[in-house]
Amino acid sequence: MDAASPSSEPPRSSYHHGDLRASLVRAGYALARAGGARAVTLRATTRRAGVSAPAAYRHFAGHDELLRAVSLLALADMARRIEATQAEVTASAPAERALALLDAVGRGYVAFALDEPRAFDVALFAQLTMADALHPDAAGDTGRTAYGLFQEALTGLVGVGLVAPAAAELASVHCWSVVHGFAALATTGPLRLTPRPELDALAAALVREVVDAVTGARARR
């Protein structure tokens, strides 16, 4: 569910000395969850944090730097959603488990987008380079980012022989493109008015299809 829109005059936030940067990032993320990336401005963020606008410049050179920090926080929440989905995997046989873990990455990615469409909107602002996708501030509870979890799942498939090492990079782009494309269609595109149960079913089927496509698993099922 989306967070409620912040009031125009929120109560003053309290923070410990030296924690203003974290407070500003949390305030910006609250704005992002309510209104997407466009809602994250220096003025709105400092107002929500209960400090003067100049205070932000002690920690951020400008709007882009603030937005990037907020994006990393969104990516960390995405990682936690993927972690939670992977935690539901019960398969123990190596090949079956490897397939299920990659499947869980895709389903967790889409679920985060559907549950938090505005946070999803801001999340990818942080990924200016692939290094940003592995930034420590984007990590979930396991210390791995969403991209790190994705790459770990692919590495697991290579390890059990379901993806050839030489094909891993293409498999990575294939999976990510398909799953992200569906998430975008379902949150801001023509599928956004589709009932959630239908979207969940479509997502599960699509993720299964793309995992099968990159592993050739269909023939073994």
| Tally of helices (H runs) and strands (E runs) in the chain | 9, 0
pLDDT value for 124: 82
pLDDT value for 1: 43
Q: Which SS3 state, helix, strand or coil, does residue 131 take?
A: coil
pLDDT value for 190: 96
Tokens representing residue 140 in the block:
């979930």
pLDDT value for 18: 56
All domains in the chain, ordered by first residue: 20-64 (1.10.10), 75-220 (1.10.357.10)
pLDDT value for 20: 86
Does residue 39 contact residue 78 with C-beta atoms inside 8 Å? Answer: no
Does residue 73 contact residue 137 with C-beta atoms inside 8 Å? Answer: yes
pLDDT value for 17: 46
pTM: 0.86
Which parts of the chain register pLDDT below 70? 1-18, 126-128, 217-221
pLDDT value for 215: 93
pLDDT value for 126: 67
Residue owning tokens 């079956």: 96
